[in-house]
Amino acid sequence: MHPTFLIVIILTAAANLYAGISDFTRPQWLMTNIGRLGVEARWLPTLGILKLLGGIGVLTGILVPEIGVAAAAGLVVYFIGAVATVLRARWYSNLPFPLTWLALAVGSFVLSLHVAY
């Protein structure tokens, strides 16, 4: 395995596991942010599960590359939606956050594709 692949996968997994856990622990900064974005708090468990599964999936992709590809693809779609949500709310100063997670997801997807095929 190439070290770049492992670094990107581990960073992507860590970022998404952290974000998913945050959706369940509901720190004040998160509740403030989702309110400003117009997202209802009832969506947090679903969003948290998606991020947790994505993080676990990209890690699993180290051993089973096809699962990593699928998980990374799911995270790409998820974070395109997150970027769209920030743009819809016109909160441009918050845009670097979902873009960072999107970049990690895209990197994981491309590198996982390379490893799997």
Mean pLDDT of the chain: 96
For the segment 9-65, what is each residue's pLDDT rounded down to a tens digit? 999 999 999 999 999 999 999 999 999 999 999 999 999 999 999 999 999 999 999
* Number of domains observed in the structure of the chain: 1
**63 touches 41 (CB < 8 A):** no
**What whole-number distance in Å separates Cα of residue 5 and Cα of residue 84?**
27
**What whole-number distance in Å separates Cα of residue 42 and Cα of residue 40?**
5
**What whole-number distance in Å separates Cα of residue 116 and Cα of residue 112?**
6
Q: Which domain holds residue 47?
A: 3-116
Kindly report the pTM of this predicted structure: 0.94
For the segment 72-109, what is each residue's pLDDT rounded down to a tens digit? 999 999 999 999 999 999 999 999 999 999 999 999 99
